[in-house]
């Protein structure tokens, strides 16, 4: 045995040495290389078969089985014959007409919103003239609204009043201040009547007043308790960017020398955060920490020499930098601080080559001088450098003060800096241009900081404010209603700025024509702004579905083809045009494609609409007429609204067994946003059905796209076929459902029921894969079925455009995708039926998809441990084989893609489906795990077999804590799919590393969501299953595999093997274990297993109800009493509890909910004891995993279960479930990356305002960032806490 182990270790060393010393070409090691056509290694043909199995022959058999399954169970030939019988008309694509129509539609929508802003502006200016005659001052405090006048409104996701406009105002305003809110209500109301999709409307005065319509009290937002001081942060950045639209170059100097107390340092950092948050994307900024030396942000080398654009990323990193500043042991060197600040501004102004840009240095300090001669030296430095720039630089200063400390001389010094009062210290003035005076402010509290930031910017040239409209970049609406965009204009009286008016609009409505651009042609559309940032792009998640702030991304990164840089420059320069581009793809085969970018500006808007055409002379064929009779009994999927007594439940979903149901995606409608934002009523559904079943042509179109009626009629041919198959097919017990979808958004499902209208079938993996592998039978990796079938796979195939000859090829244009769902066990059943050798104990057979995820494998069946692993990867389950497979460089690529919404690089694998022959061991594992693998022709799958002759393992790095790669600087040959950080150059907006130039990750949307049912409907179908399956009629394990609603029960609740394993109801023994819960959190049907008298058979008896129920109730009451007493005692001290410790990265999940700092929100984080109403997979992903944002593909990271993950759900309820179950009265929306601690965005902004600073004596001596806990208190505990910086 010892000799055997020594030989094994020696073989491992030899292998590792060969890898490290390999002289293989670098192109083979670089991720993203292309497959090379190389002859099959000679050793593969000589290698003996495993157990005499001809794997290529078995693969061809499996292909025939899958093709038979798709033809017989989908009804593929029936629907293809139907499309072949249809008549078509050819249509040429006019590129200019497409672009003109697209631009015209967006311009019309935009003009409606612009008109609303213009009306509000005129009304404010008119009311101010009236105010001069008779003061208009009546107020209505938003924080003091009567709850009887506000009601919940789904459009705003708040309790609001459409009849009122309320105010947020600082307390120090004079009694005669201008307040037009009451008089603006009628104008605001009429705007909404004209355009119901309009969201918030507001007026912000130069004095700090904020009028808001519709009125609300922020009762469902994190700022509710801070409402009295909310005026300080509401739209402050919008106000500043509108009244001073010119580019501002700002350097923020933060003194953190020894002269500041900890309280003063805390205040100085708060001031810096407010100023940073008030800047907009057009500005340039840098933040420096000042002590005896200058401290820079170290994210990029360029930060030492220049200012950077104020992007979300720049704000995030500078905010982190400000938070990281700690008190130093030396005094601040004021002269050095201003020297570096002027050098940065001089470099930035020269780089931007602008004569109109203005610059400001904001100095935040106590102002303590080391000697009496230091002040003249500092002012002399300022005089010298500012004169070199013709006095273009303004200096403003904050004095951070503390009660009881003398500040007379410090105040005098900082005032002199702000005024640039050179004469006071006998410093010569070195330029003839007048000095632009800044502002000085002494601050001892942080509750009016944003307002003071606005005052500072008054030093800039206010004459640049004009009637020009300002558009913000899209930002998330924290109330949960997708992306919004702000449109603002300045209001004037005799050239004096009164304030700004603005409206917030849903981005989903504005860009819906781009979002749902024609999907049936070889083109896509996108929108950029005047700076080149993408507003909408196909790689982005649809705006109405976003739950987090996507990062603003330059279009260069999304269209990352050589030569596009010049096209972008021309787009930003010319109002319209077209440019061709040659694109070279290095994929399996090197290919070239000619594309054309055509673009057009949107009127006075700074936005540009572009279409990328990938086919030069494309012609499409449209269905001209249908020979089939239009069905009069179309069943729309909202059968919960159109309920009939014949309706039933298909597992857990309300369904119709009489006929397939019709679903229309948003793409099928002329106005997708209107469809998504409206509640479907019975009358609307009747209008859809009447129009679609009308054969006369007299019934009006209820808003559907042209051609939808023909698509519905064509798909209706399959209805009777599916109903017959569900009743009489030999496979009826194994098929979960059948479905078909078209690019236009028409989908038929049987059995089917109501799903959320945001569902998009064309973005689902079964549809995308079928379109990618046209003509192939494609299979998805396992995923959890929403309707209760457990883990399933989808088998799908394309339907080709009709031909009268009925002769089709793989190159034909697809007009639909057809599919069926089966349980994951069914795939292994097919494998066992086809290859009996797989039943041997030392033989493992598996099926792999084109990305390396296992479709069938013994370890994902739950035969031994009751576990399923959703989308398990081969690098996790077969490490020894993986290390060898990955050395076949012509078979597998290791690829990367960029997820720009959350700034991640995703590493994943792609397997060559055109593989010919059979692969086996090159070197690794041949002595212990000989394997063979081959492609399954006509599919996206591979068939493999392993002969395990001894116990041996290899290493494939897999991070159990999150999806981060172990090494991002180098890539090991074998590793699980993982992700690395994507670094963006803060100075240029481009990629930090040229090696990170990868294709964008694919966009995916969320799976369908079942519609909630009323209690009445739920009760009517509670025990009424559409299809009754007798699980116990399946007598063998293999026949039970994959049966819908059934499981092979082989273990009791103690994980001991049953004496009599059998097939039973899935709810009784999910995963093969009696009493285990399903991933849907169903209560299991509790049974007791008792021995029969003869000790030879097992019988199932119901558990006695009375005694057990009484005992349970008694225990529950005792437990509840104990918990109550404990919590009552603990909460007398209002201590804060949190559950767990979570390492939160920049890439916040769509399912994550960041905790707010209690100091900022006023809310406590208490332990929540609640039941889970939502489906929870017991095979959960690791708690630290963060799914990529923007809805982009994560290549299965979200479903990969680490080796040592616990199967038990946490007793602390997860944040997303807290939100969904409405355990709190407000909704918090996560931001990616987290924004600065204080933001000037609106109430939908992720950043709540800072409270007035209150520091205890103990905190005066603490290190900033540390938490002070009382030393002794029996009612308080120490717990791990994660503080999320904003």
Q: Tell me: the pLDDT tens digits for 902-941?
A: 889 999 999 999 888 899 888 766 678 889 999 999 999 9
Orientation of helix 708-715 relative to helix 76-84, angle to 10°: 130
pLDDT at 1195: 53
Give the model's confidence band at 742: pLDDT under 50 very low, under 70 low, under 90 confident, else very high: very high
Exposure string (b/e) for 585-596, b if CB count within 10 Å is 16 or more?
Answer: eeebeeeeeebb
Distance, CA of 569 to CA of 1208 (rounded, Å): 55
Question: CB of 267 within 8 A of CB of 444?
Answer: yes
pLDDT of residue 1284: 37
Q: Which pLDDT score, from 0 to 100, does residue 585 have?
A: 66
Work out the pLDDT band at 264, boundaries 50, 70, 90.
very high
Confidence of residue 1053 (pLDDT cuts 50, 70, 90): confident
Question: Binning pLDDT at 50, 70 and 90, where does residue 1082 land?
Answer: low
Residue 1226 confidence class, pLDDT cut points 50, 70, 90: very low
Other C-beta atoms lying within 10 Å of the C-beta of residue 337: 25
Binned at pLDDT 50, 70 and 90, residue 91 comes out as confident
pLDDT per residue over 804-852, tens digit each? Answer: 888 888 778 899 999 999 999 999 999 999 999 999 988 999 999 999 9
Measured CA distances, 860 to 508, 871, 873, 1081 (Å): 40, 9, 11, 20
Structure tokens at 240: 């500043």
**Residue 1099: per-residue pLDDT:** 34
Confidence bin at 1216 (pLDDT 50/70/90): very low
Average pLDDT value over all residues in the chain: 78
Q: Is the pLDDT of residue 539 over 80?
A: yes
Query: What is the structure's pLDDT at 868?
Result: 53
Asked if the model's pLDDT at residue 133 lies above 60, the reply is yes
For 1152, the token pair is: 């994550």
The reported pLDDT for the residue numbered 156 is: 86
Q: Average pLDDT in the 266-272 region?
A: 93
In DSSP notation, 1131-1159 reads: GGGT-----S-----SS--TT--PPPPHH
Q: Rounded to 10 degrees, what is the CA torsion of 217, 220, 223, 227?
A: 10
Residue 1157's nearest CA partner among 1223, 1085, 1250, 1243 is 1250
At residue 221, the pLDDT reads: 55
Cα(377)–Cα(417) distance, rounded to whole angstroms? Answer: 12
pLDDT recorded at residue 487: 95
| SS3 category, 314 | helix
Longest Cα–Cα distance of the chain, Å, equals: 113
**pLDDT score at 593:** 79
Sequence length of the chain is 1286
What pLDDT does residue 305 have?
87
pLDDT at 806: 83
Q: What is the CA radius of gyration of the chain?
A: 34
How far is it, in rounded angstroms, from Cα 149 to Cα 794?
51
Task: For residue 1281, count other CB atoms closer than 10 A to its CB.
Answer: 15
Least confident interval from 63-67, 482-486, 936-940: 482-486
**Tell me: the pLDDT tens digits for 866-891?**
445 677 899 988 888 888 888 888 89
In this predicted structure, the answer to whether residue 1169 has a pLDDT above a threshold of 70 is: no
DSSP code at position 350: H
Query: Does the pLDDT of residue 293 top 90, yes or no?
Result: yes
This prediction's pTM: 0.79
Question: Mean pLDDT across the stretch 196-216?
Answer: 91
Alpha-carbon distance 1084 to 860, whole Å?
22
Q: What is the mean pLDDT of residues 16-41?
A: 38
Q: How confident is the model at residue 232 (pLDDT cuts 50, 70, 90)?
A: low
Residue 285, strand partner residues:
250, 308
DSSP, residue by residue, 441-476: EEES-STTHHHHHHHHGGGS-GGG--S--EEPPPEE
580 band by pLDDT with thresholds 50, 70 and 90: very high
pLDDT in tens, 168-179: 887 778 888 999
Predicted confidence (pLDDT) at residue 683 exceeds the cutoff of 60 = yes
Which of these ranges, 478-492, 675-689, 1159-1173, has the smallest mean pLDDT?
1159-1173
Lowest mean pLDDT among 225-229, 848-852, 1059-1063: 225-229
Distance of CA 487 to the CA centre of its chain: 25
The pLDDT score that the predictor gives to residue 381 is 95
Q: What is the average per-residue pLDDT within 86-111?
A: 88
Torsion angle, alpha carbons of 1223, 1227, 1232, 1234, to 10: -90
């Amino acid at each position: 045995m010892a000799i055997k182990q020594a030989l094994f270790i020696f073989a491992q060393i030899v292998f590792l040495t060969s890898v490290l010393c390999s002289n293989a070409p670098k192109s083979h090691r670089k991720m993203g290389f292309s497959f090379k056509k190389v002859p099959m290694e000679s050793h593969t043909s000589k290698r003996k078969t495993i157990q005499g199995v001809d794997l290529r022959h078995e693969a061809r058999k499996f292909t025939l089985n899958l093709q038979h399954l798709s033809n017989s169970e989908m009804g593929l030939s029936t629907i293809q014959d139907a499309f072949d019988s249809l008549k078509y008309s050819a249509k040429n694509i006019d590129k200019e007409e497409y672009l003109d129509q697209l631009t015209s539609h967006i311009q019309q929508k935009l003009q409606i919103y612009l008109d609303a802003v213009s009306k509000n502006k005129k009304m404010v200016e008119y009311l101010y003239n009236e105010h001069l005659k008779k003061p208009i001052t009546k107020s209505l405090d938003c924080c003091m609204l009567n709850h009887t006048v506000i009601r919940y409104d789904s459009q705003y996701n708040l309790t609001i009043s459409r009849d009122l406009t309320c105010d947020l105002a600082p307390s120090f305003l004079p009694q005669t201040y201008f307040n037009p809110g009451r008089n603006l209500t009628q104008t605001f109301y009429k705007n909404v009547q004209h355009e119901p999709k309009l969201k918030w409307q507001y007026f912000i005065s130069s004095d700090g007043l904020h009028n808001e319509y519709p009125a609300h009290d922020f009762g469902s937002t994190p700022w509710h308790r801070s409402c009295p001081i909310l005026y300080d942060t509401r739209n402050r950045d919008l106000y500043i960017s509108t009244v001073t639209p010119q580019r501002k170059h700002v350097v923020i100097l933060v003194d953190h020398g020894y002269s500041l107390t900890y309280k003063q340092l805390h205040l100085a950092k708060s001031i810096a955060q407010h100023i940073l948050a008030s800047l907009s994307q057009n500005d340039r900024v840098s933040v420096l920490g000042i002590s005896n030396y200058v401290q820079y942000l170290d994210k990029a080398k360029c930060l030492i020499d220049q200012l950077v654009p104020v992007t979300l990323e720049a704000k995030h990193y500078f905010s982190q930098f400000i938070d990281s500043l700690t008190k130093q042991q030396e005094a601040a060197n004021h002269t050095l601080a201003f020297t570096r600040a002027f050098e940065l501004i001089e470099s930035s102004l020269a780089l931007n080559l602008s004569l109109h840009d203005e610059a400001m240095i904001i100095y935040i300090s106590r102002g303590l001088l080391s000697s009496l001669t230091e002040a003249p030296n500092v002012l002399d430095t300022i005089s010298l450098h500012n004169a070199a720039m013709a006095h273009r630089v303004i200096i403003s200063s904050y004095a951070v003060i503390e009660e009881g400390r003398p500040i007379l001389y410090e105040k005098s010094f900082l005032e002199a800096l702000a005024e640039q009062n050179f004469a006071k210290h006998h410093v010569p003035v070195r330029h003839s241009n007048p000095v632009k005076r800044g502002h000085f402010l002494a601050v001892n509290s942080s509750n009016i900081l944003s307002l003071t930031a606005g005052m500072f910017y008054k030093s800039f040239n206010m004459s640049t404010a004009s009637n020009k409209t300002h558009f913000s970049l899209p930002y998330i609406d924290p109330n949960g209603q997708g992306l919004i965009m702000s449109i603002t204009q300045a209001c004037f009286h005799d050239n004096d700025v009164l304030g700004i008016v603005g409206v917030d609009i849903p981005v989903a409505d504005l860009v819906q024509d781009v979002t749902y651009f024609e999907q049936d042609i070889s083109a896509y559309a996108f929108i950029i702004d005047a700076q080149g940032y993408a507003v909408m792009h196909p790689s982005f998640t649809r705006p109405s579905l976003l739950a987090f702030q996507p990062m603003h991304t330059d279009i260069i990164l999304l269209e990352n083809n050589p030569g596009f840089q010049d096209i972008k420059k021309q787009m930003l320069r010319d109002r319209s045009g077209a440019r061709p581009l040659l694109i070279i793809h290095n994929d399996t085969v090197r290919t070239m494609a000619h594309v054309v970018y055509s673009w057009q500006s949107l009127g006075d808007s700074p936005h540009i609409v572009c279409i990328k055409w990938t086919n030069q002379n494309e012609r499409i064929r449209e269905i001209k007429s249908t020979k089939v009779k239009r069905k009069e009994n179309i069943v729309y999927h909202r059968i919960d609204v159109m309920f009939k007594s014949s309706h039933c439940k298909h597992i857990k979903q309300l369904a119709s067994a009489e006929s397939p149901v019709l679903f229309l995606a948003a793409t099928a409608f002329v106005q997708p946003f209107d469809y998504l934002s409206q509640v479907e009523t019975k009358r609307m559904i009747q209008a859809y059905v009447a129009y679609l079943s009308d054969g006369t042509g007299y019934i009006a179109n209820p808003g559907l796209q042209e051609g939808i009626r023909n698509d519905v009629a064509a798909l209706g041919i399959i209805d009777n076929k599916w109903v017959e198959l569900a009743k009489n097919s030999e496979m009826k017990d194994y098929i979960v459902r059948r479905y078909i979808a078209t690019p236009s958004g028409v989908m038929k499902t049987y059995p089917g029921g109501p799903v959320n209208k945001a569902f998009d079938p064309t973005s689902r993996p079964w549809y995308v894969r079928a379109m990618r592998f046209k003509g192939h039978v494609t299979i998805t990796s396992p995923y959890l079925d929403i309707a209760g079938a457990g883990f399933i796979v989808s088998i799908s195939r394309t339907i080709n455009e009709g031909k009268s000859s009925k002769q089709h090829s793989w190159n034909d244009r697809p007009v639909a995708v057809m599919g069926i769902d089966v349980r994951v066990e069914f795939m292994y059943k097919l494998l066992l039926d086809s290859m009996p050798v797989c039943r041997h104990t030392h033989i493992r057979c598996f099926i792999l998809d084109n990305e390396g995820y296992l479709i069938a494998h013994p370890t994902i069946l739950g035969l031994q441990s009751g576990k399923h692993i959703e989308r398990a990867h081969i690098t996790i389950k077969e490490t020894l084989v993986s290390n060898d497979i990955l050395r076949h460089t012509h078979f597998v690529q290791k690829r990367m893609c960029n997820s720009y919404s959350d700034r991640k690089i995703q590493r994943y694998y792609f397997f060559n489906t055109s593989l010919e022959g059979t692969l086996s061991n090159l070197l690794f594992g041949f002595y212990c795990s000989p394997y063979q693998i081959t492609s399954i022709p006509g599919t996206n799958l591979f068939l493999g077999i392993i002969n395990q002759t001894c116990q041996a393992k290899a290493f494939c790095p897999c991070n159990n804590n999150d999806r981060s790669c172990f090494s991002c600087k180098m890539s090991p040959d074998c590793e699980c799919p993982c992700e690395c950080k994507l670094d963006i150059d803060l100075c240029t907006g481009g990629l930090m590393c040229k090696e990170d130039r990868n294709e964008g990750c694919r966009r995916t949307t969320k799976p369908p969501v079942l519609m909630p049912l009323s209690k009445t409907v739920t009760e009517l179908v509670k025990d009424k299953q559409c299809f009754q399956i007798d699980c116990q009629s399946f007598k063998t394990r293999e026949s039970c595999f994959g049966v819908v609603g059934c499981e092979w029960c082989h273990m009791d609740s103690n994980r001991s093997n049953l004496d009599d394993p059998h097939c039973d109801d899935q709810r009784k023994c999910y995963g093969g274990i009696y009493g285990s819960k399903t991933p849907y959190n169903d209560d299991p049907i509790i049974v007791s297993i008792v021995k029969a008298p003869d000790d030879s058979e097992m019988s199932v008896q119901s558990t006695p109800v009375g005694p057990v129920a009484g005992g349970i109730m008694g225990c529950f009451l005792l437990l509840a009493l104990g918990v109550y007493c404990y919590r009552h005692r603990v909460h007398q001290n209002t201590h804060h509890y949190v559950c767990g410790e979570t390492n939160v990265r920049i890439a916040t999940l769509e399912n994550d909910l960041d905790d707010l700092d209690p100091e900022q929100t006023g809310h406590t984080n208490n332990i929540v004891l609640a039941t889970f109403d939502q489906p929870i997979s017991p095979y959960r992903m690791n708690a630290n995993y963060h799914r990529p944002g923007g809805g982009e593909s994560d290549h299965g990271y979200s479903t990969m279960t680490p080796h040592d993950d616990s199967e038990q759900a946490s007793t602390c309820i997860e944040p997303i479930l807290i939100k969904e179950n409405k355990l709190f009265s407000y909704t918090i929306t996560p931001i990616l990356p987290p924004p600065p601690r204080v933001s000037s965005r609106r109430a939908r902004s992720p950043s709540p305002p800072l409270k007035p600073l209150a520091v205890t004596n103990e905190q005066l001596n603490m290190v900033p960032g540390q938490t002070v806990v009382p030393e002794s208190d029996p009612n308080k505990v120490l717990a791990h806490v994660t503080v999320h910086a904003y």
